[in-house]
Amino acid sequence: MALSGPQQYPTELLDTTMDQLRTLIVVHEAGTALGAARRLGREQSSVQKQLDTLNRTFAALCGEELVRKQGRGRDALFTATGEALVGLARRTLGEWAEGVHDARRRLGRTLSVGTTRYTLGFLLDAVERVSEDYERENVDLKVTHVRTGDLFTKLRSTELDLVCGSVVVTEGEETELLAPYEVMEWRRSGLSLLTNLPPDRLPGTSLQAHELDRLPLVISARGLIGRFLTAWYGTDYRQKLSIAAEIEAAHYGFELLRSGLVSGAMLVTRGIGEAAADGRLPEAGGLRTLEIVGDVGPRTEVLVGVFTRRGERASYPPGHPLNLLWTALSAENARWWLQS
């Protein structure tokens, strides 16, 4: 009678350990047993012994060894079976790691939080409110810097449980965009310009969006700014605007303008523009701030707030770390409004 369930697994397979699978993966990545030993902090003989064991096991099970030696100084040759088993080992260890992480998150043993640079302060103040609870319950809080463009991707993948940051919302698309997430909205705003152009070249304190095409612009094509320009001018906005410089990070744009290497105006979120105007952003010192009036395309705004997967908080008790932090962030938001 054929066995079903765990009894059907070959003994040789059950004797294969996760550590052996990890060694197989590292040898594949490093190319040699010596290279793998260095990465793992082990003796080469220990790594080679595990490879020999795996070769015997899967030669018996599959009819082919996984790895063949190629001689001194040459990378090991992985057979077709070896290549297939490396892929399977990666998936197996990845799924186990993910399963353990999910269990720890559900039980409140770990919490992974992301924040953009400009919302880190809010998070740190909120963490102070829950630090005693986290210490008492031995909660492992992991804080990660996240780019605006990766915010929802990292939530969907469950890499992060909560994010403090900003997203661009466009009229007619907002409901669908935010449907998978629970949102604590802090504030909404538009864009500003930071410029080193003299007042006679760029007068006033505001500029209408349709006038941007007459200025040499410094832009970050990734993230919020690119989404605004696409909403206002279409995907071919580069052909419609005068782009003096494209940057990866705002601080590089500040340096370009302050150095005078580029004469023009840099598109930033209104929050950054206000911080520069108030002297709270020293790296933008000396640059003038103008508000942009969005008079082209659909209404587009920056939504700053806290985001988590919809329904997840409701599935946890009030004392779960995610709910405690959510409440603390809400209190920090209320305090900010009272002070402003």
Residue 3 has pLDDT above 70, yes or no: no
Residue 6 has pLDDT above 60, yes or no: no
Inter-CA distances, 322 with 103, 291, 317, Å: 14, 36, 9
Please give the Cα distance from 77 to 83 (Å, whole number).
10
Please write the tens of the pLDDT for every residue from 232-276.
999 999 999 999 999 988 889 999 999 999 999 999 999 889 989
Helix ranges (H only) for the chain are 11-14, 18-30, 33-40, 44-62, 80-106, 120-137, 151-156, 174-178, 224-233, 237-240, 250-259, 270-277, 321-339
Find where tokens 């003096």 sit: 244
- Confidence label for 7 from pLDDT (cuts 50, 70 and 90): low
Quick one: how far is CA 170 from the chain centroid?
22
Neighbour-count burial for 121-157, b at 16+ CB within 10 Å, e otherwise = ebbeebbeebeeebeeeebeeebeebbbebbbebbee
- Nearest in space to 47 (alpha carbons), one of 71, 83, 74, 76: 76
Q: What is the mean pLDDT of residues 152-167?
A: 92
User: What pLDDT is recorded for position 224?
Assistant: 85
Residue 290 structure tokens: 């103008």
User: What pLDDT is recorded for position 5?
Assistant: 56
Please give the Cα distance from 82 to 201 (Å, whole number).
67
DSSP codes joined into one string, 291-310: EEE--SSS-EEEEEEEEEET
Please write the tens of the pLDDT for every residue from 166-203.
999 999 899 999 999 999 999 999 999 999 999 999 99
DSSP codes joined into one string, 10-21: -HHHHT--HHHH
96 HSE (CA, 13 A, CB side): 10
User: What pLDDT is recorded for position 25?
Assistant: 94
